[in-house]
Amino acid sequence: ERIRVYAPATVANVACGFDIFGFAVNRPGDEIVLEKKEEAGIRIIEITGDDGRLPLDVAKNTAGIAIQKYLAHIGQEDQGFNLSLHKDMPLGSGLGSSAASAVAGVFAANELMGKPLTQQELLPFAMEGERVACGSAHADNVGPSLLGGFIIIRSYQPLDIIQIATPKDLYASIVHPHIEVNTKDARGILDKEISLSTTITQMGNVAGLVAGLLLPDYELIGRSLVDVIIEPSRAILIPQFAEVKAAAKVAGALGCSISGSGPSLFALSKGEEIANKVANAMKNQFALVGIDSDIFVSSVN
């Protein structure tokens, strides 16, 4: 028995929602081929698209860990699998690369085991993959990669995940500059304490973004795509950050911020045509200082 599963990249944080907001895009993404085998144990037989950088050791691989934790939970540790991982997305890009692998792995395993768990119930195992990859079991990449659409993590303990509707003309432009930022490092530089006034500003934007998506109100979405807590610390990790953000707005974006822990940036726009223009403007801005980048445009639903 064998299955092929694709899990998409994701934009986590979405400006104001550090560790609590994320949405899935159509591509890029990861593909896993999983096959049951007679003997116990997970064997990673092949990883492509990673330039040989990802560990074949199951205990260090996000997909391997996620499947192991899942099998332990359902009491089927003796079930063996051969796993092939095909990465069609950059590592360390801020697009949820480790999350997509974990999600594809655990989803594939659940299908082959006859679906004992629901899709929602698979989330904690994919989160364990994240813990291995970057030291924290955040769900704002695995959540949307697994469930699709725009996700709110209202609570981590207990886990309370909400999927909300998004306006039909909302598009994301993503630019991935060819520099690397490690999520663990990008979390390490964050301020551990914030002031009351900063908290109030951020809460206003969080509420505004959710309301803007649901109403829908594109202008409100744009006004709310502001992050006064995380972005100021992380912007220094991305050369040209302010200029690329400004270029996105000039090209018509509603707003722009860092995708996950960076270095990718995302912008939201009304309509695909503007989103394409915005993506090109962001790419051109990076090119001005000699930084190559890839762009992706996707609807946000």
CB of 280 to ligand HSE, least distance (A): 25
CA 154 to chain centre: 17
Burial (0-12, 13-18, 19+ Cβ within 10 Å), 123 = buried
Nearer to ligand HSE, 29 or 167 (CB): 29
CB of 224 to ligand HSE, least distance (A): 18
CB of 13 to ligand HSE, least distance (A): 5
Rounded alpha-carbon distances, angstroms, from residue 38 to 35, 71, 73, 82: 10, 15, 20, 10
CB of 222 to ligand HSE, least distance (A): 21
Nearer to ligand HSE, 79 or 141 (CB): 141
166 is catalytic: no
Nearer to ligand HSE, 217 or 294 (CB): 294
CB of 123 to ligand HSE, least distance (A): 15
Partners of 236 in beta bridges: none
CA distance 22 to 8: 12
180 is catalytic: no
Nearer to ligand HSE, 97 or 285 (CB): 97
Residue keyed to tokens 């990802």: 54
Catalytic residue chosen out of the listed positions 31, 128, 130, 231: 130
Nearest to 238 by CA among 107, 93, 126, 97: 93
The sign of the dihedral angle between the CA atoms of 181, 53, 175, 187 is negative
Task: Give me the residues that bind ligand HSE (CB under 6 A), please.
Answer: 12-13, 18-19, 94, 96, 138, 140-141, 183, 186-187, 260-261
- Is the Cβ–Cβ distance between 174 and 265 less than 8 Å? yes
CB of 255 to ligand HSE, least distance (A): 17
Nearer to ligand HSE, 33 or 91 (CB): 91
Q: Which amino acid is residue 145, in one-letter code? A: S
DSSP string covering 115-176, please?
A: --S-TGGGHHHHHHHHHHHHSS---TTHHHHHH-SEEEEEEETTEEEEEE---TTEEEEEEE
CA distance 96 to 10: 5
Nearer to ligand HSE, 141 or 205 (CB): 141
Catalytic residue chosen out of the listed positions 183, 193, 231, 243: 183
**Active centre residues (catalytic):** 130, 183
